[in-house]
Structure 1
C-alpha cells in the first residue's frame, strides 16, 4: 500500500508567488518577525501578500499551529484556505487557525469559557454555551420590553443596535449606565442592556458581540487563558483590517503579546 503525503509543500511554487509580488508586497511577505501594516487600495494584492507570507513562513519551518489569521467573512476564509492548501498541502491547513473573528473566538471560549462562569461539559471539558443569532436576540429584547413596559415606545432594533455598539466598544452594562447614557433614550437602553445580559447568562448563552467581547475579557483578566493562547499563537494576522472595531483590535493586541508578530492588511 502506497501512502500519499498530505504535506505537499512546493518551494518552487512559493518562489513563484514571491516573484509575482511587487517590491513592497515582497518585503511584507518576507518579513516574518515584528509588527507589519499593509495599507493599499482595493484589488491591489493585499490578501495575496498575506497568503504568500503564510506560505513563506511555513516553508521556513514556522509551525502552522502557531498561526492565527482572522478574516471578516466565511467566504474570504474559505478562499484563503483553498489558495494556501494548493501551495503548502493539506497537513498544515489542519493546524493553522484561519477563520472569521467570531469562529476563532468560539474555539477559544469553548476551552476557557468556564473561567467566565459558563457551564462546562464534565466529559469533554468544553464549554457548552449556546450562541444566539439575531432572531433569538430580538425575542429576548421583546420579552424585556414587555417586562419594563416600553413595547411600542421603542423599536426592538434600537436596543439591538445599542447593545451591539456597546459590545464593539467593550462597554459592559454598568459602564453604559454610568458613563454613556446621556439622553433619556440611552438610559432606557442601558436598562435593557443590563436585563438582556442577565437573561443571556441565565440561559448560558452568548450573542455574536459576546463572542468577541468575552474573549477579550478572558484574555485580559485571566492569566491562565492569556498565557495559554499567547504561548500558542506566535504569529497573529488579520485581513481587511480597516473593518476591525475596537473589540477586535484589542483581541489582536492581546493575542499578539508578548511576541508582537502582528501582521494586518487593510
Structure 2
C-alpha cells in the first residue's frame, strides 16, 4: 500500500496507533481515503481484520469502503474487516443474541407500512384521534425517543404537557409492547436493542469489546445518542475509537443527530489526539472563501480553516 500521496495530516491520522483519535475533516479533505487507508494500514501492521469495526451511515458508503480496502490489500489472503452501517452491524449481533432480551432470533423487522398499521391500532386502543394527531407524526416522535435512547420504561408523558409529543409518549409503551408480542422490531429498535443487549449482558459486552480492538466511525457529526452509546460501550475496554467528521456539516438534527457527540468527544475519551484535515481538494478558492464566511457564524464549532491549492475560480453569482 502506497502512503506517499497522503498529505502530512492525512498520514498522521492513518498511522495513529492506540488511543482515541478525532479527525476533524473539512469538506473535500479526503476523509474517506483516510479511513480506508487507516483500515488497510492497521491490517498491514498485523491487526486481525476481524478485530476492526468500521461504521458508516449508508449501504453505498459501506460498499465503497469495502471495495477501496480490498483494492489496497489486493494480493493479501486475509479475512475482511467488519465494514457496515450501524443498522447492519446491530442486526448481525441481534440475530445471534436477542434471545437474551426475551425475543426469538427469528424476529421480523417492521417496515414503515407495518409500523403505521401498528400505531393506528395502538391509538385506537387508548382513544387517540388520528384526525387530531396524525399517526405518522406520533411515529416520528417515537423514533425520536429511541434515537435519544429513551426507553418505554423511562418515558413520562408529564414531561410533554401538550401536543403530539405528549400523545406519542402515552402510546409508546403500548406500541413497544405490541411489537414484542409479534416478535418484531422496527428500524430504530435495531440500535436501541443492541445497546440494551450490551448494557444488560456483561458476557456479551465482554465478548465484543474484546473482539473489536479498533473502531472507526465515519460522519460522526451525524450520530445520535443511541449510536454514541453503542460506540462508547464497544470501546469501553480500550478507547481505540477513530471518529471522523465535521461539525460544520451537521444537517440531520431533525432525525436525531446530536452535534454534541463530536464537540464533546475529547471530554468523553481522555487523551484524545485531534487531527484537522484542512486542505480541500474539491473546490476553488472562491468557493472556500464564501463557505468560510457562512460557517464562521456557526456557534459551538471546532475552529478550522480550509485552504486549497486549486485555482481561484470563477466568481460566485447570486440572485436576490
Report TM bin, short chain: 0.7 to 0.9
- Please report how far the alpha carbon of residue 178 of structure 1 lies from its aligned counterpart in structure 2 after TM superposition: 5.5
What is the CA distance between 1:147 and its match in structure 2?
Answer: 2.1
State the partner residue of 1:203. 182
Please report how far the alpha carbon of residue 259 of structure 1 lies from its aligned counterpart in structure 2 after TM superposition.
1.2
Deviations 1:65-123 (A, max 9, x none): 0011111000000001111111124754x44111100000001111111111111xxxx
Give 1:243 deviation, angstroms: 0.6
Of 121, 138, 151, which residue of structure 2 is paired with 1:143? 121
Cα pair 1:180 1:186 within 8 Å, conserved: no
For structure 1, list consecutive stretches of 5 or more residues without a partner in the other structure: 1-13, 120-126
| SS of structure 1 residue aligned to 2:18 | coil
Q: Residue 283 of structure 2 aligns with which residue?
A: none
Give the Cα–Cα distance (whole angstroms) in 2 for the partners of residues 255 and 248 of structure 1.
Answer: 11
Distance in 2, matches of 1:210 and 1:252, equals 16
Q: CA deviation at 1:245?
A: 0.6
Structure 2: how far apart are the matches of 1:193 and 1:145? 10
Structure 2: unaligned runs, 5 residues or longer? 246-320
Separation in 2, partners of 1:77, 1:113: 24
CA distance, structure 2, for counterparts of residue 204 and residue 222 of structure 1: 20
- Report the counterpart of residue 115 of structure 1 in structure 2: 100
Contact 1:145 1:151 in 2 (8 A): yes
1:71 equivalent among 56, 62, 70 = 56
- Which SS does the other structure have where 2:132 is aligned? coil
Aligned twin of 1:82:
67
Aligned partner of residue 37 in structure 1, secondary structure? strand
Distance 2:47 2:152 in 1: 42
Q: How does 1:177-192 map to 2 (within 5 A)?
A: 177=156, 180-183=159-162, 185-192=164-171
Question: Residues 123 and 130 of structure 2 are in contact (CA less than 8 Å); yes or no, is this contact kept in structure 1?
Answer: yes
What displacement does 1:180 show?
3.6
TM-score after normalising by structure 1: 0.87
- 1:224 maps to what in 2? 203
Q: What displacement does 1:136 show?
A: 1.3
Output the TM-score relative to the length of structure 2. 0.73
Tell whether 2:103 aligns with 1:103.
Answer: no
Q: CA 1:55–1:251 in structure 2 vs 1: closer, same or farther (change >3 Å)?
A: same
What secondary structure is seen at the aligned counterpart in 1 of 2:55? strand
Give the conservation status (yes or no) of the 8 Å contact 1:67–1:235: yes
SS in 2 for 1:105: helix
Deviation of the 1:207 alpha carbon: 0.8
**Post-superposition shift, 1:160?**
1.2
Contact conserved, 2:138 with 2:164, CA < 8 A, in 1? no
**Structure with greater helix percent:** 1
RMSD: 1.5
The question of 1:33 aligning with 2:18 is answered: yes
